[in-house]
Chains A and B, each alone.
Chain A
Amino acid sequence: MHGRRTLRRARCALVLGGWLACSAACASSDELGALVPPTADEDPALPRVQVTIGGHARWLHLETLGEGGRPVVLILPGGPGSDYRLLRDALAPLADEHLLVFWDQHGGGLSERVSRPSQLTPDSFDEEIAAVHVLVAPGEKVTLIGHSYGAEIALRYTALHPEAVERLVLIEPGPVNDFARDHRPTSFVGLDVFESLFWDNEVMTAQDHARADYRLLGVLRRGSRSFYCASQEPVEVPSWRFGAYAFEVVQREEGSTDYARGIEAFAPRVLLIAGTCGDLQTSFQQAYNLPALPRADLVRIEGAGHFTLFLDYAPQTLAAIRAYLAEAP
């Protein structure tokens, strides 16, 4: 009887010990490329540049399209935290007349991750745009095209440095000031997204940047459904990596920032593009963002949403930008 019990205990210990040993032998999710593509500081094969932001040297994932010597266009993706893949695919044709500069903001996309909220502020993004500007077009004016949060920081850069900017294109910016923030539609992500996001904690928690970004990828498509027409299913949006920490922190850090403050000093007309579907569509822009932009023309793209502006409706978006850039400032 005693012997049998001892044997049973030994067997249990063996199984448990074996399992723990196996677990230790498993791969680590920290290994580069295990879950998400490595960032520019981790992967020197990526197109990248190093700039100084807030006293810290940061690697930015950056590439250019088009020939040098042409008018420079800086293109800023949204999120906050997103990458430029969607915009590159859609806006690449503009490279026939411009030098396009795409990059992921620090903390987002494939750019270096940042782990302090104080380094992900509107000021830090302003400093980043200035650093890229100096790098690719020193002493020259540049055109800015920004989407979503990228449009907000492009607007702020223009408002703070109107002498440095040639033209400004804002594509469905988020709320640019408290007035617009107070009126932004509040959309619940959906019970299924909520359930999935938290159930996944049973198997993987967002302990570090890679795991947090990977976890967010797991709900990104369905979690973006408020950017589509009500009857539309969210589609696969081309992307590399979404910075979950930046997404969370930048929205907290912006506080009551007025991205449009000072834009009156920018003389050229501003192009504002919006679709007719989703939270940031034409009606929102017209009612809440446009009042802060005294010299802006709103172009409405019928049927488009926040992402489909660069997918199904990319030709219309491109045509609007081309027409604007062809005009005299």
Chain B
Amino acid sequence: MRRSLPAWLSGALTISPWLAPSLARAELVPRPDARRTALQSTLALEPELTLSAALLFPLRLDSPRAVLSLGAGVKWAVLLPTRGDLQLSLGAAGSYLVARDWGAACAASALATRAQNEAATFYGLGLELRCQPGYFHGAWSVGLDLGLQSALSTHVEHSATARSTFEERYPPGVTGITGPRDGWYRFTATRFRVGVASSHRWGDHWSGVLALGSLFARQDQGLLLAFNLAQLPIYLELGAGYAW
């Protein structure tokens, strides 16, 4: 079994990072026969509470050191149950074993996200890239968790509240700058992920993973920790996977 390292590692990496945060943790799970369909579920604090699920389908590759998989997933803001804030993801991941116990998985997923607040309803289209170089040994693994997410284009539909902020600013008879403007905006969110992840496998079907670290956004004024600017750069994820 130990001689089939490329197989289990590539299998492990198949359970991939490509489906947003939920899946990225689980590819570190060592899994000798992971070229199977898998269902992943994750509870996370980012720091908002989210629940995600994803279904993964491995593809056949010639190389025993590499794995590729495709899949789709959904992430949900649990504490906003009626607002319809969720994220759909679709993507692919590749993994490669570079040495006996060392490997890495890198993945890309396309994201479609809905968010609504008192100012607007947002529909974001973005990408997430995530890489997890790690050490794999028997049923467990440990590694880094590095990532970049970006909302490349976001449609903003302003609420009546946001529109009212443009009223009654000017003296009578003065026409100034109007707004706000509904429409598509580019690069409205970019966040970076730096953390660690560890996973364990139980038996043939079940695996679990824990990841924690910092998920932070650029802030031009240099505030990286500021509640009122939604800058609380931590994440903690707990995931479970079942393969069959």
Contacts and interface: CB of A to CB of B under 8 A. Distances in A.
A46 B176 CA distance: 8
B210 interface: no
A323 interface: no
Interface string A35-77: 1111000010111000000000000000100000000000000
A88 B227 CA distance: 29
Contact of B79 (A32, A192, A200, A218): A192
Nearest to B123: A203
Nearest to B217: A205
B190 A205 contact: yes
Contacts of B50: 199
B119 A214 contact: yes
B109 to A, nearest CB: 12
A227 interface: no
Interface extent on B, as a size class? 35 or more
Contacts of A239: 165
Interface string B101-126: 00000000001010101111011111
Interface stretch (A240-248, A286-294, A299-307, A309-317): A240-248
A181 B28 CA distance: 48
B186 A207 contact: no
A196 interface: yes
Interface extent on A, as a size class? 35 or more
B48 interface: yes
Given A37-B165, A199-B48, A200-B122, A206 B219 contact: yes
A28 B186 contact: yes
A203 B46 contact: no
Interface in B70-122: 77-80, 85, 87, 111, 113, 115, 117-120, 122
A207 B219 contact: yes
Interface string B148-162: 010111101010011
Contacts of A249: 223
Interface stretch (B4-12, B34-42, B135-143, B229-237): B229-237
A140 to B, nearest CB: 25
Given A35-B156, A207-B190, A214-B162, 4 more contacts: A202-B115, A202-B189, A206-B219, A236-B161
20 contacts: A20-B152, A22-B153, A23-B187, A24-B186, A27-B181, A33-B177, A37-B165, A198-B48, A203-B154, A204-B156, A205-B191, A207-B217, A216-B228, A219-B118, A221-B161, A222-B118, A240-B165, A241-B165, A248-B227, A248-B229
Interface of A: 19-20, 22-29, 31-38, 43, 45-47, 63, 85, 110, 115, 191-192, 194-209, 211-212, 214-222, 236, 238-241, 244-245, 247-249
